[in-house]
Amino acid sequence: MIKIFSPDNSLEAQCLKDLLQSHGISCHLGGSYLSGAIGELPAAGLLALYVEDLDAGRAKQLIEDYLMASPVLEDLTQARED
């Protein structure tokens, strides 16, 4: 397995893990249990997403697409008005 991304927090980590798995990419989230040691360990850089080497390119592209996406606020406003 190869490390492909270091999420900023556990919510982002789980969202990205779910995204990859929904595209058929097996993914391991490392460091998720280390958050209990914050104070003893640095608060940043504990989390990492790992995938199989063959899936790394596709996984990185999916994460990049996710990070570059912008929220669709117009649709939410329209739905509230209806």
* pLDDT at residue 80, as a whole number: 58
pLDDT digits (tens, 9 = 90+) for 18-50: 999 999 999 999 877 556 555 555 555 678 999
Report whether 49 contacts 26 (CB < 8 A).
no
The closest of 30, 31, 15, 27 to 66, measured between CA atoms, is 15
Rounded percentage of the chain residues whose pLDDT exceeds 70: 70
Which is the CATH superfamily of the domain at 2-81? Hypothetical protein rpa1041 (3.30.70.1530)
Q: Which residue has the higher pLDDT, 70 or 29?
A: 29
* pLDDT at residue 82, as a whole number: 53
pTM over 0.85: no
| HEC secondary structure over 32-68 | HHHHHHECCECCCCCCEEEECHHHHHHHHHHHHHHHH
Six token digits for residue 44: 């940043």
Report whether 63 contacts 29 (CB < 8 A).
no
